[in-house]
Amino acid sequence: MILNERDCRHEEAVNVGRQMMVAARTAPKGKGVDIIETALITGEEIQILSETMIEINKENGFKFFLRDAENILNAECIILIGTREQAQGLNCSHCGYNTCAERPSGVPCSLNAIDLGIAIGSACATAADHRVDSRVMFSAGIAAQRLNWLEDCKMVMAIPISASSKNPFFDRKPKDINK
C-alpha cells in the first residue's frame, strides 16, 4: 500500500486537535476545580465562525477580525477552549477586589483566566509536539463565544490548526474582503 500524506493530512490534523482538547482538560486547574470547556470544529462551522468574525468587524472596526476571518478558512480544524465563570473563594484580590463577594458581576475571577491560559498553553504544546501549525486567536474566540458554542463560557479562545507547508495564520496584512 502507498499512502500519500495529502490523503491523510486532514484526518491527522483533526486527531491532533482531539489530543489538544485532552491536553487542555488535563492541564492543572486552580484549586483543582475544572471549569474548562473545549470543542473542535471543522468544515461548515469554520465558515460560520469566519462570517461571525466579519460581522463583529462591522461593529467594532478592528481590521484584525477581517484578517483572521480569512486566515481561519485555511484551518483543518479549530479548537475552542473556554472557561465558565466561577469565583474560587480565595479572596486573593488578584481581580482587583479585596474579596470574592466584592467582585461585581461581569468581572472575571482571575483564577478562571489563569486556568484558561494554562489550558491553552497545554493545547499549544501538544500542537507543537506534533508539528502542526497553530495560532491562538482572541478574535475567533470572541466569535465562538457570541455563537455560544461553549455554553456558559465567559472567556473563549480559538486555536486554528493547519498541516500545510506554510503556517497560514501568520499572514499579518489586514485584508479587505469587500473589494
Sequence spans of domains, the chain: 21-170
Distance CA 36, CA 153 (A): 8
Residue 173 has pLDDT above 70, yes or no: no
Of 80, 60, 56, nearest in space to 136 by CA:
80
Distance CA 142, CA 121 (A): 18
- Is residue 31 within 8 A of residue 40, CB to CB? The reply is no
What digits encode the pLDDT tens for the residues 37-47?
999 999 999 99
Q: What is the pTM of this model?
A: 0.90
Q: Does the domain made of 21-170 have the CATH classification 3.40.109.10?
A: yes
Three-class SS state of 163: coil
* DSSP-H helix ranges across 27-172: 43-60, 63-71, 110-129, 138-146
What digits encode the pLDDT tens for the residues 12-71?
999 999 999 999 999 999 888 899 999 999 999 999 999 999 999 999 999 999 999 999
Distance CA 170, CA 1 (A): 36
Q: What is the pLDDT of residue 69?
A: 96
Q: What is the pLDDT of residue 177?
A: 52
Extract the C-alpha cell encoding 134: 497553530
Distance CA 140, CA 113 (A): 17
**What's phi and psi for 77, nearest 5 deg?**
-160, 165
